[in-house]
Amino acid sequence: MSSPPVSRREFDALFGRVRSWGRWADAGRGAWNRVTPGHVLRAAALVRTGNVVPLGRPWDTASGPDNARPALHYMSDLGDVEPPEPSTHKDFIGADYHGKAVSHLDAPAHVAYRGRLFDGGPARELVGAGGARFGDVAGLGPLVTRGVLLDLPAVRGTAWLEPGEAVHPADLTGAEAALGVTVGEGDALLLRTGRFRRRRERGAWDPGAASAGLHVRSVPLLAERGIALLGGDGDSDVRPSPVEGVHSPVHTLAVAAMGVPLLDNLDLEALSAACAEAGRYAFLLAVAPLNVPGGTGSPVNPIAVL
Amino acid sequence: MSSPPVSRREFDALFGRVRSWGRWADAGRGAWNRVTPGHVLRAAALVRTGNVVPLGRPWDTASGPDNARPALHYMSDLGDVEPPEPSTHKDFIGADYHGKAVSHLDAPAHVAYRGRLFDGGPARELVGAGGARFGDVAGLGPLVTRGVLLDLPAVRGTAWLEPGEAVHPADLTGAEAALGVTVGEGDALLLRTGRFRRRRERGAWDPGAASAGLHVRSVPLLAERGIALLGGDGDSDVRPSPVEGVHSPVHTLAVAAMGVPLLDNLDLEALSAACAEAGRYAFLLAVAPLNVPGGTGSPVNPIAVL
Amino acid sequence: MSSPPVSRREFDALFGRVRSWGRWADAGRGAWNRVTPGHVLRAAALVRTGNVVPLGRPWDTASGPDNARPALHYMSDLGDVEPPEPSTHKDFIGADYHGKAVSHLDAPAHVAYRGRLFDGGPARELVGAGGARFGDVAGLGPLVTRGVLLDLPAVRGTAWLEPGEAVHPADLTGAEAALGVTVGEGDALLLRTGRFRRRRERGAWDPGAASAGLHVRSVPLLAERGIALLGGDGDSDVRPSPVEGVHSPVHTLAVAAMGVPLLDNLDLEALSAACAEAGRYAFLLAVAPLNVPGGTGSPVNPIAVL
Amino acid sequence: MSSPPVSRREFDALFGRVRSWGRWADAGRGAWNRVTPGHVLRAAALVRTGNVVPLGRPWDTASGPDNARPALHYMSDLGDVEPPEPSTHKDFIGADYHGKAVSHLDAPAHVAYRGRLFDGGPARELVGAGGARFGDVAGLGPLVTRGVLLDLPAVRGTAWLEPGEAVHPADLTGAEAALGVTVGEGDALLLRTGRFRRRRERGAWDPGAASAGLHVRSVPLLAERGIALLGGDGDSDVRPSPVEGVHSPVHTLAVAAMGVPLLDNLDLEALSAACAEAGRYAFLLAVAPLNVPGGTGSPVNPIAVL
């Protein structure tokens, strides 16, 4: 499962190979430009049972090894602030949502490499205290496209991938063959490693120290396929990083080189069961991030519709 | 436009008439129990052009007459907190989202009348500082169903309804006839009053003082139709309230009596244009609230897919 | 150091013994009613070297075993939001400050026993989502009085008290004798256990599981002395609690029975050194909580002036 | 009251005239370096009646013309989250406190002019998303010194200064003479304009548009006197600004040129009455900002002790 480390030189070559800068007029939307109305129609045609499966984890207000910045949830009215009738119950939510606990979308503005955002603009000038002026989540808008689940533990017949296990190109193509699905242009690829099943059975651990995820050498395959979105139950990157001096190489290639937004920390357990039961691993995926101007992403509750 | 005021006695009779307590085993999901996989399939079949229209307003951090509790958005990393490479940009968002500015969903737990939540449970025991133990948004989950837009200004040939204008049953049935659509069982009804067009042209005002919206006597019609969700560019209630002693009578009947969640403060301008262009006012609507255990609702960015 | 457990019956007897309900007209200020202008003058007369020692810990935004709800600190302007000149840097701070990490004051409203706040009012009616209507921190206002440091490790010649060590009445009177100071009416008593020296040398631990602090049987002595304020580098309670069924018995007696506000999580290391150098353990103490109407306390940075 | 506008050239000359860069080894503490233990002793000696007067406004959670970013206050426990006994009430507070509503301290890091912080360091390198690395509030610590109230409405025999009124050097020296006090080295100068009396009687207005405050030509007098701290019931600057192209010229000179922290939005009404009653306008002032590493200031509740 382990593989020789990746040099910074090789990494930079990979970056150059998958880079899709200068391709789209509305560059801030990155690879979501790949998704045309035709892709939406194709996704709608996949709806056959009407089973709607949410992929968002519970809003997690408890700190822990995988939740260094717990989300906030406070009741602002319990029917005793605003006068009845009716009485109303209200709440405040808040989150520094990037991290390992909140199901969220990374917009193109989230990641820069060597000071450059996707499409080459200088991060320091384009992102400030007021937010991002390029690649923000409000500019992305929502996405409806075909989702494909590569359920790696299901393919391997294991409960989960162990933290630290890297997913290589052969794992991806093997999963495609085993699951009868082929990732293609405009797809949203979801990778299940079984993280949250393991968490439920073994307890929480620090995913920054060890996570199953994609090896950086798997990214060119995804680039060739022309995916629009990459997500999973981790944050896509295998950890520790196999690339010296680059803590999140898959983030770097996907977001900064390819303009592919990421979905991190999805709970894919119910989707795994639903796909197994339905005997198919492609479905309509809808992602509707909050409309935050300048935002580098958003907490989300993506839905798969089978 | 005005109509005789509604007595508390009449209101309570209306409440009794539309009340659907005791109907569903999973009562906390309220009228979303009406939406079956068949409704999802029917909604998917409405997708014909692949046009995806988001309905969420921009996250509004500026206080004003319609934004008493401005949302929060702060950058928590500008590439200078976590070490590169890559550099990452992160942000915190927060909102006390009920109110007039954030596009949000009201879960059944949001409203109680005479101390009772939907299905009759005592609000004081079911909702506390830790959140709601009945009718919370995590229990609701997402919704995919047929959405119907009743575009009242389009029907009337006006730019918007004036603040304070009430929408009566005849307005609803008239709009159905004019737009060629009939609201039915399991539908999500969206009501456009043109609020945000007016706001853009005339500036913000206090919608708590004056809003176009449904007259409370329109609710029985909606109950007969068996809607699952009610939403609009206001908060569904005409204001000032026509019911003495009840500040939000439509909220009360919809949420507490019928278990119908509400979508408040949607920006329906783009959807209005899209429906007019497509020549139809029914579409797939997907609502994916954040998965907040105990939450009384959620900021959302619903999507219509035509 | 260990002692037989305290039964609930004994605890309730202690509660009755130290209870000072019905004593003050402005009961919401609790024992701060003991501090007269004369006490302020007496405190000012203690200022001899002009050494000002702050007691507040750094605002701690990192979660950990003693920081389950990390404080928030975000920059809201880096000179790029509001236009220059001048450019301005701004920040947002936030905290759910009760707990083990933030130096804070507990107002009388913080604690109720058997449903009763200090002075006997019903907690459920007096504290709601809008805050406390009795015993809130805005009603308390600031305090200037004589502070007395009982530096227990200094007396014992140890670096710190081990987590779990209880401080008994003889420890208090022994410390008074050793340090040449006697706690009296209207004083602010500060108890040093060496917690933050231990934390710096040994790393953080969970103080909810084990903390050095006062044994509940020490509280009557403090009641006899008529203290106005009790504080320390822990939260005053030894943990685990020696009282079955009462997780914070010192909190209960001090706040709910005696109306004595508490100062939790002070960093007393510099004050320990300053008192040792000055050869005296009494000084002016000033506590200026934020003026939060309805607040159950406040983050604070108390100052000792020697 | 009005005076000819100040050119940018004159302003820059004023900046050079009052600049005290390169003077202190611990430059990040700015003019608080002026306050020695001797100043603390002198302040303590001013305590004669033991009257403690808090200067912090109530934590203001209501948006309005002078509160664009309302403070947050939510109850996080109403005795129903953590198990009894005792039951505990807890709350979250938060604030983007710079602005016109929260009583707060501006640390030296708050203001930069022509890209330079106090003492000349480059703002862009010294302040980032993680906070300020120079001139932060944690580095400042608390201040105890002589406070002097220049109560301008009391001197003029008016209820308040009208918004927009500028305070000139002759107003300051006239007030000194009338009130029998002389501002000197290491003092904290508090300027009362009667803002909050006017607000209570006339209602809130936008102080960004019109505020009584210091004319920029008054600052050299304050520099000559060697003040350590400047504060008031406004934000010290008269508004609109008399300096073209500089929105907050007094902030700029005080903070960036002189290293003098500011206290904004104090409620000085009670202090005004206390000084009038005592017949003296000098007292001990204690300011204890929260210990926020990297913070550009802090909400505070300063206290005057007479």
Coil, strand or helix at A118: helix
Segment C265-296, tens digit of pLDDT = 999 999 999 999 999 999 999 999 999 999 99
Six token digits for residue A301:
């509750």
DSSP A80: S
* Percent of chain A whose pLDDT exceeds 70: 99
pLDDT given for residue D100 in this prediction: 98
Measured CA to CA, the distance from residue B58 to residue B101 in angstroms comes to 9
Segment A145-187, tens digit of pLDDT = 999 999 999 999 999 999 999 999 999 999 999 999 999 999 9
Coil, strand or helix at B231: strand
Measured CA to CA, the distance from residue D49 to residue D306 in angstroms comes to 6
Are residues D32 and D261 in contact, defined by beta-carbon separation less than 8 angstroms? yes
B101–A contact, CB cutoff 8 A: no
pLDDT given for residue B286 in this prediction: 98
> D-chain residues within 8 Å CB-CB of A75?
74-75
Name the residue among B13, B56, B7 with its Cα closest to residue B231: B56
Q: Which domain holds residue C46?
A: 8-66+97-305
Measured CA to CA, the distance from residue D264 to residue C11 in angstroms comes to 47
> D-chain residues within 8 Å CB-CB of C37?
49-51
Q: What is the mean pLDDT of residues A89-117?
A: 98
Q: What is the mean pLDDT of residues B151-167?
A: 98
Buried b (16+ CB within 10 A) or exposed e, A96-106: bbbbbbbbbbb
Q: How many CB atoms lie within 10 A of CB D12?
A: 14
DSSP B180: T
Contact A72 D78 (CB under 8 A): no
Measured CA to CA, the distance from residue B42 to residue B34 in angstroms comes to 14
Chain B with chain D: Cβ pairs closer than 8 A = 44
pLDDT given for residue C278 in this prediction: 98
A297–B contact, CB cutoff 8 A: yes
Segment B160-208, tens digit of pLDDT = 999 999 999 999 999 999 999 999 999 999 999 999 999 999 999 999 9
Segment C167-225, tens digit of pLDDT = 999 999 999 999 999 999 999 999 999 999 999 999 999 999 999 999 999 999 999 99
pLDDT band for D156, please (50, 70, 90 cuts): very high
Measured CA to CA, the distance from residue C273 to residue C260 in angstroms comes to 27
Using CB atoms, list chains with 3+ pairs below 8 Å to chain D: A, B, C
Mutation for A interface: D74, D76, D77, D124, most A CBs within 10 A: D74
Min Cα distance C74 → chain B (Å) is 6
Segment C154-181, tens digit of pLDDT = 999 999 999 999 999 999 999 999 999 9
**Closest-approach residue (CA) in chain C for B130:** C129
Structural domain total, chain C: 1
pLDDT band for B2, please (50, 70, 90 cuts): low
Measured CA to CA, the distance from residue C38 to residue B267 in angstroms comes to 63
Measured CA to CA, the distance from residue D47 to residue D63 in angstroms comes to 38
Average pLDDT over chain B, rounded to whole? 97
Amino acid, res. A295 = G
> C-chain residues within 8 Å CB-CB of A78?
128-129
Torsion over CA of A100, A106, A109 and A111, rounded to 10 degrees? Answer: 50
Q: Is residue D3 part of a domain?
A: no
Measured CA to CA, the distance from residue C296 to residue D92 in angstroms comes to 10
Q: Is residue C92 part of a domain?
A: no
Of A72, A89, A111, the CB nearest to B127: A89
* Percent of chain D whose pLDDT exceeds 90: 98
Q: Is residue D78 part of a domain?
A: no
Chain B, residues 231-250, CB within 8 A of chain A, namely 245-248
Q: What is the mean pLDDT of residues B214-239?
A: 98
Measured CA to CA, the distance from residue D189 to residue D230 in angstroms comes to 5
pLDDT given for residue C138 in this prediction: 98
Chain B, residues 47-86, CB within 8 A of chain A, namely 47-52, 54, 56-59, 72-79, 83, 85-86
pLDDT given for residue C96 in this prediction: 98
Alpha helices in C52-168 (DSSP H): 123-126, 137-140, 152-156
Are residues C171 and C1 in contact, defined by beta-carbon separation less than 8 angstroms? no
pLDDT given for residue B3 in this prediction: 65
Chain B, residues 150-209, CB within 8 A of chain A, namely none
Segment A189-234, tens digit of pLDDT = 999 999 999 999 999 999 999 999 999 999 999 999 999 999 999 9
Coil, strand or helix at C111: strand
Segment A38-50, tens digit of pLDDT = 999 999 999 999 9
pLDDT band for D1, please (50, 70, 90 cuts): very low
Q: Is residue D81 part of a domain?
A: no
Are residues B106 and A132 in contact, defined by beta-carbon separation less than 8 angstroms? no
Of B93, B251, B293, the CB nearest to A295: B93
Q: Is residue A80 part of a domain?
A: no
Segment A272-285, tens digit of pLDDT = 999 999 999 999 99
C92–B contact, CB cutoff 8 A: yes
Burial of D99 (0-12, 13-18, 19+ CB in 10 A): buried
A1–C contact, CB cutoff 8 A: no
Q: Which residues pair with A134 in a beta bridge?
A: none
Name the residue among D305, D139, D54, D289 with its Cα closest to residue C301: D289
Amino acid, res. A159 = A
Task: Say if residue D33's pLDDT is above 80.
Answer: yes
DSSP H/E element including D52: strand D52-54
Are residues A195 and A233 in contact, defined by beta-carbon separation less than 8 angstroms? yes
Task: Say if residue C1's pLDDT is above 60.
Answer: no
Give CA B200 to chain center in angstroms: 21
Average pLDDT over chain C, rounded to whole? 97
Segment D236-294, tens digit of pLDDT = 999 999 999 999 999 999 999 999 999 999 999 999 999 999 999 999 999 999 999 99
Segment D220-241, tens digit of pLDDT = 999 999 999 999 999 999 999 9
Using CB atoms, list chains with 3+ pairs below 8 Å to chain C: A, B, D
pLDDT given for residue C3 in this prediction: 64
Q: Which residues pair with A189 in a beta bridge?
A: A148, A230
Measured CA to CA, the distance from residue B266 to residue B104 in angstroms comes to 8
Q: Is residue A177 part of a domain?
A: yes
Segment B34-86, tens digit of pLDDT = 999 999 999 999 999 999 999 999 999 999 999 999 999 999 999 999 989 99
Chain A with chain B: Cβ pairs closer than 8 A = 290
Measured CA to CA, the distance from residue C90 to residue B162 in angstroms comes to 40
Q: Is residue D49 part of a domain?
A: yes
Stretch among B81-85, B178-182, B274-278, D105-109 having the lowest mean pLDDT: B81-85
Task: Say if residue B4's pLDDT is above 90.
Answer: no
pLDDT given for residue B34 in this prediction: 98
Q: Is residue D90 part of a domain?
A: no
Measured CA to CA, the distance from residue A55 to residue A58 in angstroms comes to 10
Six token digits for residue B171:
């307005």
> B-chain residues within 8 Å CB-CB of C75?
74-75
CATH number of domain containing B195: 3.50.30.50
Task: Say if residue D4's pLDDT is above 90.
Answer: no
Torsion over CA of D98, D103, D109 and D111, rounded to 10 degrees? Answer: 60
pLDDT given for residue A3 in this prediction: 64
Q: What is the mean pLDDT of residues B130-142?
A: 98
Average pLDDT over chain D, rounded to whole? 97
pLDDT band for A83, please (50, 70, 90 cuts): confident
